Amino acid sequence: MFITILLICGGLVGLYLLLSVTVLKPSKCQSTAKLHGKTVIVTGANTGIGRATALDLASRGARVILACRDENRAQAAVTHIQKETGNKDVLYMHLDLASLLSVRTFAENFLKRESRLDILINNAGLVLGGKTEDGFGKIFGVNHLGHFLLTVLLLERLKECGPSRVVTVSSMAHLWGKIDFNCINTHKDLGLGNSTMNLLKLYSNSKLCNILFTYELAKRMKDTHVTCYSLHPGAIKTEIGRHSSIWWKLFLTPILLLFFNDVDAGAQTSLYCALQEGIEHLSGSYFSNCALQKVPAKARDDAAAKKLWEVSERLCGLA
């Protein structure tokens, strides 16, 4: 029996090591681009993938704006990034994606203060129940609507500074997502329920929204020098589930430790989409592991993408 247990454990360790150097091994952005004179916004840059992305961009000389809700955490991230990169041109601006007023105020302040915008990285995301300030489901409001409004309000500046890019962090969870326009119209949300499984479904739905938004944005920016990309960052250890129940955290912790990569790895595809030369013709596409990926038909549905855009305009008060 003891020998059998040892053999099983040895086999599992061997399988894990094999996965670590194959499936679980992340690609790295190879771009050597320098960004002196360029301005970048990264939402949710006070922690996780966003902070790692902002740090890399700052190390390339960019003026980096951390668009975040929590001032204390954001200022700590600013200090950390400035110290690590030697770039003092890193600053915090308040942005609460759960408030359309906050998004509008951020955009207004940014456009008054900043003459350039070269890269917008829609990175922030959450898995959390409840409602936004405007009565939308929080996952829908933050993961999609807030970023939709932010992008639209900044499009003219992006056009002026072209070639420029919009990078939106989605997820492979879009594979399980769907868009229920009836539910959006009746409940201002992508679905109903606040159980852990329901929240994960809502998250998947919001990630499908991210891809459809990028797909439609690319069509609308066709005759400009603005290109856009969505992406899956990989299986990454972040704080996105920090509001989950203690039992869910206990279940996830060993899985995170064994099979998930760190935030530096999670930033690589965002950086690839923001910096890689020669992918302009792939505007509107979806990437993972620093490579173009195919998506299911529902993520390339022209009618659904157009309808989502129009519904989002109405909900954000743009129509």
pLDDT of residue 262: 74
**129-152 pLDDT, tens per residue?**
999 999 999 999 999 999 999 999
CA 78 to chain centre: 19
Indicate whether 166 pLDDT > 60.
yes
pTM: 0.87
- Structure tokens given for 125: 């995301």
**Catalytic annotation, residues:** 203
Looking at residue 43, what DSSP letter applies?
E
Q: Is 292 helix (H, G, I), strand (E, B) or coil?
A: strand
What are the domain boundaries of the chain? 31-315
| Kind of pairing between the strands at 39-43 and 63-68 | parallel
Angle at 101 between CA 240 and CA 149, to 5 degrees: 65
**Can you tell me the distance from the alpha carbon of 288 to that of 170, in angstroms, rounded to the nearest whole number?**
10
pLDDT of residue 235: 73
Q: How much is the mean pLDDT over the chain?
A: 89
**Can you tell me the distance from the alpha carbon of 278 to that of 207, in angstroms, rounded to the nearest whole number?**
26
Indicate whether 245 pLDDT > 60.
no
Q: Name the nearest CA neighbour of 83 among 47, 59, 63.
A: 59
> Lowest-pLDDT range, 71-85, 194-208, 225-239, 305-319?
225-239
pLDDT of residue 15: 38
Phi, psi of 44 (to 5 degrees): 60, 35
User: Which helix (H) or strand (E) segment is 166 a member of?
Assistant: strand 164-169
pLDDT of residue 210: 98
Indicate whether 23 pLDDT > 50.
no
Instruction: Please tell me the class of the 31-315 domain.
Output: alpha beta
Indicate whether 201 pLDDT > 90.
yes
Looking at residue 145, what DSSP letter applies?
I
Q: Is 308 helix (H, G, I), strand (E, B) or coil?
A: helix
Q: Packing angle between helix 48-59 and helix 71-85, nearest 10 degrees?
A: 40
**Can you tell me the distance from the alpha carbon of 181 to that of 157, in angstroms, rounded to the nearest whole number?**
31
Stretch 273-282: mean pLDDT: 98
Whether residue 163 is preceded by a cis peptide bond, meaning omega within 30 degrees of 0, is yes
User: Which helix (H) or strand (E) segment is 238 a member of?
Assistant: none
